Every structure is written in structure tokens, then in C-alpha cells.
Structure 1
Amino acid sequence: MSWQSPDRLWLLAGVAGLVAGYLVLQRRRSRYAVRFTNLALLDKVAPRRPAWRRHVPAGLFLAMLALLVVGFARPTDEVRVPRERATVIVAVDVSRSMLADDVDPDRLAAAKDAARDFVDGLPEEFNVGLVAFAGSASVLVAPDTDRAALAAGIDRLAEGVAGVQGTAIGEAIGTSLDSIRGLDARATEEPPPARLVVLSDGANTTGRDPDEAAAEATEQGVPVDTISFGTPEGRIGGGQAVPVDGETLRMVAERTGGGYHEAGTSDELRAAYGDIGSSIGYETEWQDVSARFIGFGLVLALLAAATSMLWFSRLP
């Protein structure tokens, strides 16, 4: 934290002087009470109250002054703000293996629930799109700020929605990059800050080479975060074994500067999405945060007034 007007912090010396003066007055008051020998009359003139009460309004008042002085010095701090035109594409594997029931109720249903939570946690200003992929890839929802359309798109995620069977991770990345380039009229010349999030349970089996797609994402400056979802014990309906395989996803993340995550349960999947969400689409700016201190100072002023009126029937 820094200050735009640090010279104003010298006013804190005045607050410190008030604290010292208050302590001196309290000490004198205690000595006077000891010299007052008529204890019965003293009890009537100054009835006993909890000693700490008389110090609360004063303490709150002095703390309020200190906070207002800090606010007056115009403090600044680093603040995370959403980037203009920030774009996130969520690509979800809808191949047959995503019907494995090693995750309750199955991988695809759990992936849809986690995707909803992830999208709900993103700032409203973000453009978010949805890509479904199996043996091919298709854009279910073009990147936009319309969260209702995105929620409807997530509901439509189902096995076979992306066409032929297989796992085309490279196609998913390429299709996602195409949707980013079509965001708006400026996207070709001024690409938006973007990030891809790819969830799958297997290795690439068809379509474009993921290594080539990762190279294209790197060239465009688009990190790809990947999530390998499922367990080695995965089976479809208790029959065909479909163990998770995350090596392709790991390679893509490493090549593009994204993060690789493994999730074997719904909770782990939400945690992976949470880690990704905390790092995308933001930039750090130095901003004036004086309102923070002034606001807290006003709250303390109200508390000082309330406690003084309640206990002593007067304002401090």
C-alpha cells in the first residue's frame, strides 16, 4: 500500500497527542477519587459502573479519527479488476466414455454441474462461450455475456451432441480459438484477452493433432487450462472399462502456459475450476482505496455515539 498524499499522515501525531492527553486525564481523575474521603457521598455522586464502559466511546472516537486521517492521505492499493473484453471458452468432452459412473451420477452430469458453478463465479463482464466435443467439436454457445444462454447450453450437453464418437481434443482447441476470433469486429486486429478451459477424461483419438492446436493457442497468446476428470476404475454401466488418461491434457497445458488439473470426484472438479477461475481474465491496477478507511471510520463514529448515548445519555 502507498499514499498519494503521505504528508497528511503527520495528522496522526495529533491523534496520538489526544490519546496521551486522555490517559493523563484518566490518571488525574483516579488520584482525585482516592483523595475524596467521603466514600458514601462519592458513591451517590459517581455511582459505580463497569470501569471499561467509560473508555469504549473514547476509544472508538480516537480510532475513527485515525482511520479518517489515513483516508485523508489518499491510500492506494493493488486491486484485481476484470480485463476489458475478457473471454473464456469452456470446452467439455461429451464422448461416450463420459457416461462412466465412477463419479456420481456419471462423469458428464458431474461436469455439467461443476461448469455451472464455474460460470456463475465469473464476473458478469466476461464473455463466456461453450464448446462440446467428441469425435468432432462444435460451438454450442458463442462467447457472450448472456448467462441465460450459457446455462441453456450447459443443459444441452449430452452424449452425441458433438457428432461421431471419439475424443478430439485438438479440434476442441481449434474450434474454441475460432470462436474467440469471431467475438466482435475488433477481434481480428485486436484479439481479446482470452483463456480456454478444456475438460476431458481421455487422450486424443481423432481429428487435429493436439500438439499443433496447442502451438496455435500459444501463438495467439491464449493459455489452455485442462482438467482430467475421472478415475482409473471408470466403467460404462459396469461393463466397458474407460480409465482416465490425462497425458494429452497435461501436454497441452504445459505447451500453452495453462494449468493442468486432475479430478476424481465432483468436489475435486469444483476445486479445479475454482483454481482456474481465480487466475483468469483479471489485471492488477493501483487504485485509490481511501473510501475503505473513511467508511470504517464512519462506522466507528456511529458506534462511539451509540455506546455513549446508551451508557451515559450524551454524545462523546
Structure 2
Amino acid sequence: MEYKSITMAAWAVLGALFWSIGFWKLLKRPEIYLPDKFIIRKLFIARALLFLIGISGWVYIGIAMTNPRIPAGVSKDKIEVRDIFFVVDVSASMLADDFKPNRLEVAKEKILDFINLRPTDRIGIITFSEKIFTLMPLSTDLKLLKQMVKEINTGFLGSGTNIGDAIGLAVARASSSMSKSKIIILLTDGVSNVGTMTPMQAAEEAQKNSVKVYTIAVGGDDNAKIPTGQDLYGNTTYRTIPGGSYDLNTLQEMAAITQAKAYVAADERTLASVMSEISKLEKSEVDTRGKIIYDEKFWYYLLVGVTLLFGVELIRKLILRESI
């Protein structure tokens, strides 16, 4: 038997102490008439036995709180996982209205759908515009990942499009992983125009580190408009996206160099389909063989302890007629 949290038994000791004090203070003379001799000999013995049974119940509860477990064998399984970095363009053009409500919000929605289907994968998020920001390192914390996706927004990383450095950072972070399957999913609607690395240099670096770069060109209208503010009457004003749309040739070459694929998502349905296809990529396996499997005994000890205490209190109330 192993005990994971021995110190937690202190709470059971404290509970037993307060229960013992209450047990002896609350003892009252039964409401039925009994000869004095019977009370002296029999009733005291009955109460003492009940007290010991109650203490036994607290002992079981104390053992339960230590989270007892018995080694039951050794795992022979493998868990399939992969490391995935989403690299998301957050330049102002991602607010274009050809997706509803805009390109970025739809992209976030599809990323969340993807995460929900990948409970064993390690997923990270990098956002970029002119500057690069690691919003979330590789993690399996789905709750935190979802929260971070919801925090993705435009307006705090400058006004350019720095695809090369964003991919370079994702490659650097993924290269230290032991996973055999390392994937970058790039979502962008622009042309790289700033940065120390070109997109092609970043793709070559990814290829050297066995990282696949799947590129998704987001947007279906070169003349899509982005909000710029409000006029004097409170109406939203718009302007056409500066510079047009994405550089599909570069995105295709990046994917080809890393033995991945390039996609064009012209609308929400197409983007969902692209994400679904990428989710079917070959997975790597994390070897868990040799890991000890335990038979957890928490509920057994807790059930016995609570049953004993409940029985004691029931006897005190219904048979000994004590006020509890």
C-alpha cells in the first residue's frame, strides 16, 4: 500500500477530536426508564463500544484522505500525441468583413474547435503582426488554452506582417520537444513585409528540424474592408485592405519545403474543412510502457468510514435516545 498525501490525515485527526468532544458532552440519560444497575453496567459499555466504532470510522476516513493506492501492474500502452503550434496573424487586415463577424473571430472559433478534439496533444499559440508574441507555450491544459485563444486580438503588435520571424520562433520552441510529430499551422491573410527572417528561410529552418508548416491563406475578397472608426453620427467607417490579399505562392512554397500542405480558406465553411483535414494528420506516440498502474482505494476507505460514523449516530439517536 502506498499513500500519496499522508499529511492530509491531519484533517481526519482534527475531525475525530471535535467529534469525540461532542460525543461525550452530548451524552444524555435515555428517555426510557432503566434500573440504575443496568445503566451503570450495560449503558456505559454500549456507549464505549459506540465511541470505539466511531473512532474506527474516523481512522478509515483518515486513511482515505491520504489517497491510498496499491500497485496493480505496469502499463504496456502508448499514448498518441503531437506538438502543434498555431501561428496566428493579428494584423489589422484580419478584421476584414468578408468573414462574419471578421476573419480573426472565425479563425479563433475554428482553433477552439480543433483544441476540443485534441485532449492529448500539446498545443501552443504564437501571434504576430510586426512583432511576435508567444501567447501560450506548448501545453495540454485545455482550459487555459481556450482562454488564451479567446484573448487573441489585434492592435498591440504593430502594423506589419512578420511571417518569417513568427515561424522561426515556433520552430525554435518546437525543436526542443521529444515528439516525433511537430506541426505548425499558420493562419494569415497578408504578405510578409518585415522581419529578420524571410518566410522561405523560416521554412528551411523548419525542414531542418523536422517541423511541418501547414499554411492557411485566410480571406476570399481582395476588396474586403476593415473598420477604421466611427463618423460624426456614430456609424462605423471602413476602408479597403491595404496591399490586397495573401501571397499564395510563398505560402505554397513554405508548405512544400516542409512536406506539408497549403490551403486557401475563402469562407468559414472552407476554413472548418481545412482544420478538419489537418486534424487527421499522422500522430506520434509517447511511450508509457513501464509506468506503474495503481488501484486507487480512496472510495473504499471513505465509504467504510462514513458508514461506521452514520451507524453510530443512528444508534445514538434511535436506540439510546440521545440529542445529537
Deviations 1:112-131 (A, max 9, x none): 11111111122x22110011
Deviations 1:189-228 (A, max 9, x none): x465211100000111110211110000000011100100
Greater helix content: 1
Moved more, 247-256 or 98-107: 247-256
Q: Which of 166, 174, 185 is the aligned partner of 1:172?
A: 166
Q: Which of 219, 230, 236 is the aligned partner of 2:226?
A: 236
TM-aligned CA deviation for residue 149 of structure 1: 1.2
Q: In the aligned structure 2, how far is the partner of 1:192 from the partner of 1:89?
A: 14
Stretches of structure 1 lacking an aligned partner (at least 5 in a row): 1-80, 284-316
The aligned counterpart of 1:227 is 216
Residues 136, 168 of structure 1: 8 Å contact kept: yes
The aligned counterpart of 1:215 is 204
The code of the aligned residue for 2:245 comes to: V
Q: Which of 101, 106, 109 is the aligned partner of 2:105?
A: 109
Deviations 1:119-160 (A, max 9, x none): 1122x2211001101112111011011011111110110002
Q: In the aligned structure 2, how far is the partner of 1:114 from the partner of 1:196?
A: 15
Residues 226, 241 of structure 2: 8 Å contact kept: yes
Q: In the aligned structure 2, how far is the partner of 1:148 from the partner of 1:160?
A: 25
Q: In the aligned structure 1, how far is the partner of 2:155 from the partner of 2:79?
A: 35
Secondary structure of residue in 2 paired with 1:125: coil
**Distance change >3 Å, CA 170–CA 280, structure 1 → 2:** farther
The count of corresponding residues between Structure 1 and Structure 2 is 194
| Residue pairs, 1:237-252, within 5 angstroms | 237=227, 238-242=238-242, 243-245=244-246, 246-252=248-254
Larger Rg: 2
CA RMSD of aligned residues (A): 1.8
TM-aligned CA deviation for residue 282 of structure 1: 4.5
Residues 204, 248 of structure 1: 8 Å contact kept: no
The aligned counterpart of 2:263 is 261
Stretches of structure 2 lacking an aligned partner (at least 5 in a row): 1-77, 228-237, 286-324
Residues 87, 281 of structure 1: 8 Å contact kept: no
The code of the aligned residue for 1:154 comes to: V
| Residue pairs, 1:3-82, within 5 angstroms | none
Q: In the aligned structure 1, how far is the partner of 2:143 from the partner of 2:240?
A: 36
Matched, 1:97 2:86: no
The aligned counterpart of 1:49 is none
TM-aligned CA deviation for residue 236 of structure 1: 1.1
The code of the aligned residue for 2:218 comes to: F
The aligned counterpart of 1:134 is 129
Q: In the aligned structure 1, how far is the partner of 2:99 from the partner of 2:224?
A: 8
Q: Which runs of 4+ in 1 moved over 6 A?
A: none
Residues 223, 240 of structure 2: 8 Å contact kept: no
Identity %: 28
Q: In the aligned structure 2, how far is the partner of 1:110 from the partner of 1:204?
A: 22
